[in-house]
Amino acid sequence: MSSLENLPPLGPPRPVPAPRVETKMLPNGLTVRVIPYSGVPLASVRLVSRGGLSVDPAPSPGLARLLAASLREGTTTRTSAVLAELAQEAGGDLSAGAGPDSLSIGASGLAARVPLLLDLVADLAMRPAFPSDGVARVKDLVHEDLETSESEPSYLAVRTFARALYGSHPYGTISPTTASIDAVTPELLAVEAGRRLRPERSLLLVAGDVDPAAVHSEAARLFDGWSGAGAAPAAVPAPVAPSGPRRILVLDRPGSVQANLLVGNLGFPRTDPDAYPLELAMTVYGGSFTSRLVQNLREEKGYTYSPGAGASWLAGCGTVRSYAAVRTEVTGAALNEILYEMERMATTDATDEEMERAFRRDAGSLAISLQTAAGVADEVARLWVLGLPPEEIGREVDELASVTKADVRRASRRVFGTGAARVVAVGDAAAIREELGTFGEIEEVPAGG
């Protein structure tokens, strides 16, 4: 890789210590996990509930996002302004967000103020008020965000790609529409909050400089009496991977000087034995500066500055995708190279050097992300949503270390076969349509999605 002969060698890789996690379950079914972690006198509290964008009712795409943002607008006992003052008093922030599989409420601040932080999180989860002025403000903000996003080609590409991969499955919808935002009412939000925010479908996490016993008893006191309302959301079926032939979706953005390309397919869930081999495969393929895709598209061909690839995990499946924003005139050439590199991963072995680099890279970035209490809490929450226990953290480096070249090739074969791949191109259709037709059937997508 470099001609630097006097570069000192790396030391042996150090394990990432498994965090101490103390778990209890309340009588109402709420799982409470406390992760004591000293260093700075801070703590973070988060409540994660299964019930994100994928359980939005069909007529209300993107509802989870509005629901999460509206939680922050007030409770039956506190106005938005009072919540802000109390959060400030604890030294912290109070926030709520929505992902594909979950809703999350978080508060962070001084460890000494954990009872207040827990109180605020419990208040948002158990007693949201959805005041009409607050909901109206949230709707305005989401409208504005949506409008801004619609002008960004990278967003348009991601939205089209989700539709291409998942079709009418709930994972195929990643954002609200003007109509679905307009249709939101405080009443609708209250019903959805009751259905989704329920103890037996939630995890409460407290990480930081805290005494686990004290946190457990405070959590038991505050969340006692919490129950959901209405019917819990139905289970989301696992999506079915699209089968061949390869399809190419083109979204026209007249006058674009670049084309945003996304290429990929469905893989398998994070609980699959090939998950760790796939993580390493993605790093070898396109997840780092020294990866094949970046070296090829950026360093050798000069088609783009920012190509890359990654795997993302959802509750029932995984996705792999490659991305590149390329000059219009090399769109076809760039797609050709992407498909070639995908096939190469599926049909040939990685080199020893690639394997070692990928392992160091993945183990290193994992250790870096787990250096703070909040980083550990994020990982524990992420694993929970994917159906994995917190102990997985202590195993991750060993699992990565034991992956062989054969494992990487096998995992690659499962996701990199390009015959059924989905390709999205956002750009000047007139300039790229014909060339892209070489690679498969073209389907033009209307701008509205």
Partner 1 sequence: MTLHVPLETRVLSNGLTVVVSENPAAPVFGLCVLYRIGSRLEPRGRSGFAHLFEHLMFEGTPNAGKGVFDRVCESSGGSNNGQTRPDVTIYVVDAPSSALERILFLEADRMTALAFGQESLDNQRDVVKEEIRVNVQNDPYGLFEYGELPLALFDKWENAHDGYGDFHDLDAATLADVESFFGAFYRPNNAVLAVAGDVAADDVFEKAERLFGGIPAANLPPRPDLTEPERTSPVHLVKEAPLARTPAVAMAWRMPERTHPDAIPLLLLGELLHNGRASRLYAGLVEGRQIATDLSGGFNPFQGGTWYDGTTLFLSRLGYRRDVSETTVLAAFDEEVARIARDGVGEGELARVKTKVLTDWYAGLEPRLGLAVELAQAVAFSGAPEALLDLPAQIDSVSNEELRRAAAWLDPRTRAAIVKVPPREDKVAK
- Residues near partner 1 (CB under 8 A) are 1-4, 6-17, 37-42, 80-81, 84-85, 87-93, 108-110, 112, 143-144, 147, 288-290, 357, 360-365, 367-368, 370-373
Beta carbon nearer to partner 1, 144 or 224: 144
Q: Which two tokens stand for residue 424?
A: 């999205």
CB 112 within 8 A of CB 164: no
SS3 362: helix
Cα–Cα distances (Å) from 269 to 123, 137, 277, 419, in that order, read 34, 37, 13, 21
Q: Which two tokens stand for residue 210?
A: 């805290």
Beta carbon nearer to partner 1, 109 or 277: 109
**Minimum distance between the CB of residue 34 and partner 1, rounded to whole angstroms?**
17
**Minimum distance between the CB of residue 353 and partner 1, rounded to whole angstroms?**
9
**Minimum distance between the CB of residue 144 and partner 1, rounded to whole angstroms?**
7
How many CB atoms are located within 10 Å of the residue 401 CB?
A: 13
Query: 277: Cβ–Cβ under 8 A, 6 or more apart, which residues?
Result: 403, 407, 408, 410, 411
**Minimum distance between the CB of residue 36 and partner 1, rounded to whole angstroms?**
12
**Minimum distance between the CB of residue 95 and partner 1, rounded to whole angstroms?**
10
Task: Dump the DSSP string for 168-201.
Answer: TSGGG--S--HHHHHT--HHHHHHHHHHH--GGG
How many helices, marked H, and strands, marked E, lie in the chain?
A: 16, 12
Cα distance between residue 378 and residue 94, in whole Å: 16
**Minimum distance between the CB of residue 310 and partner 1, rounded to whole angstroms?**
15
Cα–Cα distances (Å) from 288 to 78, 293, 300, in that order, read 47, 9, 15
Beta carbon nearer to partner 1, 353 or 444: 353
Beta carbon nearer to partner 1, 117 or 436: 117
Beta carbon nearer to partner 1, 83 or 335: 83
Least Cα distance to 173 among 114, 232, 100 occurs for 100
Beta carbon nearer to partner 1, 17 or 389: 17
Query: 377: Cβ–Cβ under 8 A, 6 or more apart, which residues?
Result: 35, 44, 46, 205, 207
Run of H or E including 263: strand 258-266
Cα distance between residue 146 and residue 176, in whole Å: 8
Beta carbon nearer to partner 1, 154 or 227: 154
Beta carbon nearer to partner 1, 353 or 443: 353
Beta carbon nearer to partner 1, 129 or 429: 129
Beta carbon nearer to partner 1, 360 or 405: 360
How many CB atoms are located within 10 Å of the residue 245 CB?
A: 10
Q: Which two tokens stand for residue 10?
A: 């790396």
Query: 203: Cβ–Cβ under 8 A, 6 or more apart, which residues?
Result: 30, 31, 32, 33, 47, 48, 49, 381, 384
Cα distance between residue 440 and residue 247, in whole Å: 6
**Minimum distance between the CB of residue 431 and partner 1, rounded to whole angstroms?**
22
Beta carbon nearer to partner 1, 191 or 367: 367
**Minimum distance between the CB of residue 370 and partner 1, rounded to whole angstroms?**
6
**Minimum distance between the CB of residue 177 and partner 1, rounded to whole angstroms?**
17
**Minimum distance between the CB of residue 288 and partner 1, rounded to whole angstroms?**
6
Q: Which two tokens stand for residue 341?
A: 């590199």
**Minimum distance between the CB of residue 417 and partner 1, rounded to whole angstroms?**
28
